[in-house]
Amino acid sequence: MSTHQLVCLPFAGSGASFFRNAKSLEGLELLPIQLPGREERFGEPMYTDVRAAAVDIAARIREAHDSDSRVMILGHSFGAILAFETAQLLGAMVDHVFVSGSPDPWHPRAERASDLDEDEFIAQIETFAGYTHPALAHPEMRQIILPVLRGDVRMHESYRAHPDAVLDVPVTALRGADDHLVTEPDMLGWRAATTAAFILETRPGGHMYLADQLDETLEFIAATARVSHGG
């Protein structure tokens, strides 16, 4: 059976640990990427620009790449645009890109949150996601997480892909069926992001469906890899 390394890129404010407890699947090796400013990289300067972040992420993937494995990339919400930019830099190393819970890279959502004051920002993010991060209820944790979350949201909200940016590998767009933040037409916009095959896959749940459906989503990705590559 062919082995695939699945690069996992987190949603805004999240760290690589989100993916580290996922169920092990035969033929699929997870490669969670830790962004600066969180977990073991706490204290490192955070990214302020999506393209600069992609350059660093691509370098980390090259360092960790097993030459006997194929590379796929999964990114949820903020992670989806990081996945798109990183895949462009990696070129032929990448076999498939899975973008989850994010509008296409040319049409960001109209509602913004990054410039609101602290309480309004948290309320808006929770409204967007339909999800409350439990750590935000604790004042000490809130002050640690908030700058990271706000920085990621600001990058996502200010990002616009180059008009001619396009991949030449299959792209699968993943969306929670009850996601009120990112609509099905938003996700269908990703069709323009590749000259290869495009699939829209709807999963049970809302915008943060991945928090409840991580193992099931990884099983879907592993099955997609097996079908796509005959392994």
Q: What's the CA gap between 85 and 206, in Å, rounded?
A: 25
Residues 47/101, Cβ–Cβ less than 8 Å: no
SS3 57: helix
Q: What's the CA gap between 80 and 178, in Å, rounded?
A: 19
CB-count exposure of residue 60 (10 Å: 0-12, 13-18, 19+): middle
What type of residue sits at position 144? Answer: I
Residue tagged active-site, from 77, 102, 114, 228 = 77
Residue tagged active-site, from 76, 96, 133, 207 = 207
Report which of 2, 21, 23 is spatially closest to residue 218, judged by C-alpha positions.
23
* Active-site residue flag, 14: no
* Active-site residue flag, 4: no
State the catalytic residues: 77, 207
